[in-house]
Chains A and B, each alone.
Chain A
Amino acid sequence: DIQMTQSPSNLSASVGDRVTITCRASQSISSYLAWYQQKPGKAPKLLIYKASSLESGVPSRFSGSGSGTEFTLTISSLQPDDFATYYCQQYNSYWTFGQGTKVEIK
């Protein structure tokens, strides 16, 4: 099984901050990585697919990068609506998620 490890697990930030979340795979997954945003009591929402492709309708302040085993999600200027938990997911071999990164208000 491919294990996904996100860091940090929790992050405190202010509106306007640049935020970066890292996701590491236990083996190479090429670019088969997606990022999701989840708010309390809601379903996950797709933000990024194929490591760096922005899903239609997602604000351009979200961006993704990486390939192989190291990936990042960047929010260029954190907005009030962005406080949520973020998950990476690999789909190179079956489907596994990172443990999540909770972005909280500082």
Chain B
Amino acid sequence: EVQLVESGGGLVQPGGSLKLSCAASGFTFSGSAMHWFRQASGKGLEWVGRVRSKIYNYATTYDESVKGRFTISRDDSQNTVYLQMNSLKTEDTAVYYCARQGYTQAFDPWGQGTLVTVSS
């Protein structure tokens, strides 16, 4: 079964850090670009960033709203992608999803999501 499972969410104070993980199974992880998205409560979906595969030198791209604060990395030996979030702001509060960019260029599957709450 093709599956993504996120972990690492929680409550953090403004200015703090948190690292999310997304474990993949059921597909060739090493050949896939992996993305992170987020969704604030009651709001729409927002793209956060991407890490490409080894043949593209693990290139990363980020939305302007998180550039310089968030870092995406991957460990192909562990079939896992990470989202390191630093200098967190209250507006970063959201459910964070990882997703595989498939051969269609659309996103499937998605993980179940992990909630990040930034509050004092």
Q: Which residues of A contact B (CB under 8 A)?
A: 32, 34, 36, 38, 42-46, 49-50, 53, 55, 87, 89, 91, 94-100
Contact = CB atoms under 8 A, between A and B. Distances in A.
Interface string B5-18: 00000000000000
Interface of B: 35, 44-47, 61, 63, 97, 104-113
Contact of B104 (A49, A97, A100): A49
A43 B97 contact: yes
Which of B44, B61, B105, B109 neighbours the largest number of chain A CB atoms within 10 Å of its CB? B44
A99 B45 CA distance: 8
Given A43-B97, A43-B111, A95-B35, A89 B106 contact: yes
A95 B44 contact: no
Nearest to A41: B113
Contact of A43 (B63, B104, B110): B110
Contacts of B111: 43
A50 B47 contact: no
B110 to A, nearest CB: 4
A96 to B, nearest CB: 7
14 contacts: A34-B106, A36-B107, A43-B109, A45-B108, A46-B106, A49-B105, A50-B106, A55-B108, A87-B44, A87-B45, A95-B47, A97-B45, A97-B47, A100-B45
B104 A44 contact: no
